[in-house]
Structure 1
């Protein structure tokens, strides 16, 4: 099957599954809504903040406060895109139609990744503009130094989260097992490792901790992170490449089941 046919086939599969629309819609709504709420709360409490907190106040990053929840929906999207074929048994039909496993897997990831990128960018820009509207006099502008990089980076971050989840799902095949590992990892384990003094130096190199650096404009006081915004996104990209490589290697070696 030609590459163009593989792309069309994967697009048809993705858009025909109702969970795709729901999970991506949830990612947008949760990210934007929570970002607006936290921005509104930050505006009302700004004058009562300690002086050190006001000095390091990052209005751009505040508007992305909902990303930590919105990324969970992107994880679900990434897992379902890949593992649904295994749970429904369609994987045998798909591999019979596209026997070249690299074309099958990376065609699926290309289509789903492009969709995640569009949704991620729309979400990031919407969260920024609506969050800044809530911040009022404490808002920043898209043209200010570092802001556009952070907003575009927010979209890239959500995209990479989804693609990383696709790689993990390709390795594990089971949607329940994939979600059972990814959800606690990003929602609990990463936060714990990143906030406990004994493990901070390890936690900052995890994919979400490193990748989220791209959304920060104002550095935190006393921050000694050894990489910058693009360096952090680069670390996250390495995690994504490793997950995809693992998924492809196992797909190539295993029978369809």
Structure 2
């Protein structure tokens, strides 16, 4: 089967599954709503902040506060796109129709990534503009130095989170096992490693810690991170490549 036909088939699969639509919709709503809420709270608290906090105040990054929960939905989306066929047993039929496993996985990743990219960019730009509206006099402008980069980076970050999850799901095959590892990794382990002094230098090289750097415009006081915004995103890309490569290798070697 030609690659274009496989891509068309994968697009039909993804849009016909209600869970993918719901998870992407949830990513949009949660990211924007929480970002607006945190932005409004930050506006009311700004005058009571200490000098150090005011110097580090990053209005652009504040509007992306909802990403911490929005990425949860992107993780679920990435896992379900790949592992749904394993949980339903449809993977045997799919691989019988497309015996070229590389083509099969590549087509699935391309379609899902394209969808995640559209949703990610729409969410990032909406979260920024609505969040800035909530910040009032403390808001940033899209034309300010580094802001457009951060907003574009927000869309790329959400997309890469989904792609990383696809790679992990391709390796583990089970949706429950994949989510059981990814959720604690991003919402517990990464935060602990990134905020404890003894492990901070390790935590900053994890995919979410490094990737989120692209959304920051105002550097924190005494920030000693050894890479910049694009360097952090580059580290995240390496994690994604490793996950997808692992998924491809295991798909080639294992039986369906």
- Normalised by the length of structure 1, the TM-score is 0.99
Deviations 1:29-61 (A, max 9, x none): 000000000000000000000011111110000
Alpha-carbon distance, 1:82 to partner: 0.3
CA distance in 2, matches of 1:250, 1:107: 17
Indicate yes or no: 2:169 matched with 1:188.
no
Q: Does 1:57 align with 2:57?
A: yes
Q: Could you tell me how far apart the structure 2 residues matched to 1:17 and 1:214 are?
A: 32
Q: CA deviation at 1:3?
A: 0.9
- Alignment correspondent of 2:131: 131
- d(CA) in 2 for partners of 1:189, 1:36: 27
What does 1:151-230 correspond to in 2, within 5 Å?
151-230=151-230
Q: Deviations over 1:169-200 (max 9, x none)?
A: 00000000000000010001000000000000
Q: Distance in 2 between matches of 1:208 and 1:244?
A: 16
**TM-score, structure 2 as length reference:** 1.00
In 2, the alpha carbon distance for the partners of 1:10 and 1:179 equals: 22
Runs of 4+ deviating beyond 4 Å: none
> RMSD across aligned C-alpha pairs, in angstroms?
0.3
Segments of structure 1 that go 5 or more residues without pairing to the other structure are none
Partner Cα distance (2:67, 2:56) in 1: 20
Q: Secondary structure at the match of 1:218?
A: coil
CA distance in structure 1 between the aligned counterparts of 2:248 and 2:136, rounded to whole angstroms: 48
Residue of structure 2 equivalent to 1:89: 89
Cα separation, 2, equivalents of 1:149 and 1:192: 28
1:27 matches 2:27: yes
Q: Distance in 2 between matches of 1:204 and 1:164?
A: 17
